Amino acid sequence: MKELRLMKGNEAIAEAAIRVGVDGYFGYPITPQSEVLEYLMLQKPEERTGMVVLQAESEVAAINMLYGGAGAGKMVMTSSSSPGISLKQEGITYMAGAELPGLILNVVRGGPGLGTIQPAQSDYFQAVKGGGHGDYRLIVLAPNSVQEMYDFVETGFDLAFKYRTPVMVLSDGAIGQMMEKVEVGEQKKRLTDAEVKERCPWATTGKDANRERNIITSLDLDPHQQEVFNHKLQAKYKEIEKNEVVLEEIQTEDAEYLFVAYGTSSRICQKSVQLARAKGLKVGLLRPITLFPFPTERLKELGKQVKGILSVEMSAGQMIEDIKLAVECNVPVEHFGRMGGIIPSPEEVVEALEQKLK
Amino acid sequence: MAENVINKDIVKEENLVYKKTDLLTDKPLSYCPGCGHGTAHRLVMEVIEELNAQDKTVGVAPVGCSVLAYEFMDIDMQQAAHGRAPALATALKRLNPENYIFTYQGDGDLAAIGTAETIHACNRGENITIIFVNNGIYGMTGGQMAPTTLPGMKSSTSPYGREVHSMGAPMKITELIAELPGTYYVTRQAVHTPAAARKAKKALKKAFENQKLKKGLSFVEIVSNCNSGWKMTPVQANQWMVDNMFPFYPLGDIKVPEE
Amino acid sequence: MAKVKGSIVVDIEKCKGCEVCVPACPTDVIRLAENVNGKGYHFAYMENPDNCTGCANCAIVCPDGVITVYRKKVNE
């Protein structure tokens, strides 16, 4: 039987962590995501599943706890919001460099700097293009509902372990704070030590006589070896681009114009599609669910079908660059967005379409 | 020409009294001649061997001269970002409480960039061992001033000597963390003489055995040399350490568990 | 009367000639060689092998772990 709950996005992701058998969560308070840590502490996951939950002294420490736990083959996650995610970039690039799985939630707020605590989508570049130093990518999942906040915990860990790479759930203050109905899954058991060793033969679980020692590091002082490793990483990202693109389309079959939006903006755009169609404008919506890998191929096709594309983002326009690259100048691409923590209204999105593209 | 004089009557397996532990790999150490890191590495590995704990031990290497510690220690290891080793160790221990977990860090790593991670891991009483090698300088990057550089001591970034009024006084982080309720055993040792090295090994063994008691964090500082950074011969550096470092960083237990 | 005789074996190619073992020896056995190893270091060797008691002090302070120590009781 389905188990339904009314939950905040931040609570849903915390409940999902317990239910999918996450081994450790390491967090630090920051608005608008503090409910993740609060919910976990209330739930006593040590009693429910043996999951470790720890409030770290900083975001820097929390992400490095992730590195340590992930290096031991454990399912570990952290969450924060924009300024805190900036602090985590050091650990994230080390995890990418050491090929460690892990889940990082960013409940994005407006910036730059301390900015605002209201929702924004201005961390797209940071999440999708790398964020920290060096040539690396994260798999980036963009939920637009509380249900997806729940579901993407398991999806994220599956991908993280499949590719040995950190995965980011790029949410925002609206999805994190709003309450919706959620179908929660069955309680899964955490992996046993033997199962961890089987899934992660590379993990630092203690060297026994049957194997060489395992080393988790991102260091190779030999430039030739370092280049070989970089090629390996890039090949992995190519593989991810080939296999893991996920998107949603709404009324694109006959669309003459296209909104491209993710997360909260995509919910606004669903309404904007209805409003535009009521006015006789044939508009569709493409929602990238994975931001890396980006749905480049499908956008390229739609670029040949439609007369114009509007990238709707709660930012000054970041994803628009990937859309432009995808459509290869076949069609005009414009941006509409609000910044500073403002969510655009469906009406102003339609207005922007009419002004900029029609 | 000098060479090994092998007295075949004595050099036999049954007469063996000391050889390098098998828990050190055969790779030549990357440290400068006379550097205390090598001795400290060996003592740590001897302790792991005596505890029969190779299959249960995970070490965390820092950034600094001992960044490549994992090349020399034949155990599972992780290499941490600069200063973050105690955060890694925290998660390693909490997620695998039966493992022996230690960090091996230098003074720049532990007492400057990693101060927060160090103090909070100590304050939480993480059930781990922190090994802190203090040679008063950043060795790997070329002899810059460290948080532990002595007043008046020259380094490449304090070329006229450390001026306390503008650069701050050296930090006695070991005394500082001893004040925290989370630390269980805090000691300061050295490895420059046979007697000091034997004492240091006892302290290290105690620090690892404490993990079984689950009473908090054990912290072993090893005051050591950096003859390259100090621009001395190894033997001179050891003497300079005795004359200058030990008065400021006196050896001995700082916090011992109540029996 | 039984007496303890010792001997050390230095891994010459790994010795860095740091000299820390020399003052650590209580019976003045060790010196650095005039000649050098493959890396150019004046390695440690037993100048006075008859004095060695196999106390292992040199090996304990050797940063590079290149000294192996043997000890035997001999009757005189």
Extents of the domains making up chain B: 31-253
Position B37 confidence tier, pLDDT thresholds 50, 70, 90: very high
Please give the residue range of the domain that contains residue C20: 2-75
**Average pLDDT in the B232-253 region?**
97
Number of domains in chain C: 1
Confidence of residue B6 (pLDDT cuts 50, 70, 90): confident
- Residues A72-97 have pLDDT tens digits of 999 999 999 999 999 999 999 999 99
Q: Tell me the residues of chain B between 183 and 222 that have a Cβ less than 8 Å away from chain C.
A: 191-194, 197-198
| pLDDT of the residue at C1 | 64
More confident residue, C74 or B72: B72
pLDDT tens across the length of chain C (76 residues): 678 999 999 999 999 999 999 999 999 999 999 999 999 999 999 999 999 999 999 999 999 999 999 999 987 6
Cβ-Cβ contacts under 8 Å for B230 (sequence gap 6 or more): B137, B143, B237, B240
pLDDT surpassing 80 at residue B43: yes
Q: Please give the structure tokens belonging to residue C73.
A: 């009781």
Long-range CB pairs of A131-136 (<8 Å, 24+ gap) are: A131/A85, A131/A89, A131/A92, A131/A93, A132/A89, A132/A90, A132/A92, A132/A93, A132/A96, A133/A93, A134/A93, A134/A96, A134/A97, A135/A230, A135/A233, A135/A234, A136/A93, A136/A96, A136/A97, A136/A233
- Alpha-carbon distances of A42 from A36, A38, A47, A170, A314, rounded to whole Å: 10, 6, 11, 24, 33
> CB–CB of A213 and B90 under 8 A?
no
Show which of residues 230-259 on chain B sit within 8 Å of chain C, judged by CB atoms.
233-235, 238
User: E strands, chain B, where?
Assistant: 16-18, 57-61, 76-79, 100-106, 129-134, 137-138, 144-145, 183-190, 217-223, 252-255
Tell me, what's the pLDDT at B259?
67
CATH number of A247-357: 3.40.50.920
What superfamily in CATH does domain A3-194 come from? Answer: Thiamin diphosphate (ThDP)-binding fold, Pyr/PP domains (3.40.50.970)
Domain with CATH 3.40.50.920 in chain A: 247-357
Provide the shortest C-alpha distance from residue C25 to chain B (in Å): 9
Structure tokens of B100?
């022996």
Whole-number Å distance between alpha carbons of A48 and A25 = 14
Q: Which of these, A58, A207, A304, lies nearest to B55 by C-alpha position?
A: A207
CA distance B43 to B37: 10
* Domain at C15, CATH number: 3.30.70.20
Please name the residue that has the structure tokens 């460690």. Answer: A100
Prediction pTM value: 0.96
Low-confidence ranges of chain A (pLDDT < 70): none
Please check whether residue A28 is in contact with residue B87, taking contact to mean a CB–CB distance below 8 angstroms. no
Closest CB to B235: pick one of C20, C35, C60. Answer: C20
The whole-angstrom distance between B120's CA and the closest CA on chain C is: 32
Distance in angstroms (rounded) separating the CA atoms of residues B58 and A195 = 19
Task: List CB contacts (< 8 A) between B87 and chain A.
Answer: 56, 60-62, 64-65, 67-68
For the residues B231-256, what does the mean pLDDT come to? Answer: 97
**Which among B3, B35, B191 has CB closest to C45?**
B3
- For residue B4, pLDDT beyond 90: no
* CA end-to-end distance (rounded Å), chain B: 56
* Helix (H) and strand (E) counts in chain A: 14, 15
Class of the CATH domain delimited by B31-253: alpha beta
pLDDT at A22 (0 to 100)? 98
Q: State the pLDDT confidence band at B152, using cuts at 50, 70 and 90.
A: very high
- Strands A247-250 and A283-288 turn out to be antiparallel
For A128, residues 6+ apart whose C-beta sits below 8 A from its C-beta are: A137, A138, A140, A291, A292, A294, A319, A322
Tell me whether residues C69 and B17 touch, CB distance under 8 A: yes
Strands (E), B107-182: 129-134, 137-138, 144-145
User: ipTM value of the model?
Assistant: 0.96
- Taking an 8 Å cut-off on Cβ atoms, the answer to whether C20 and B17 are in contact is no
A292: tokens are: 């890396």
pLDDT tens digit sequence for A195-212: 999 999 999 999 998 999
Residue pLDDT, tens place only, B94-135: 999 999 999 999 999 999 999 999 999 999 999 999 999 999
Type of residue at A12:
A
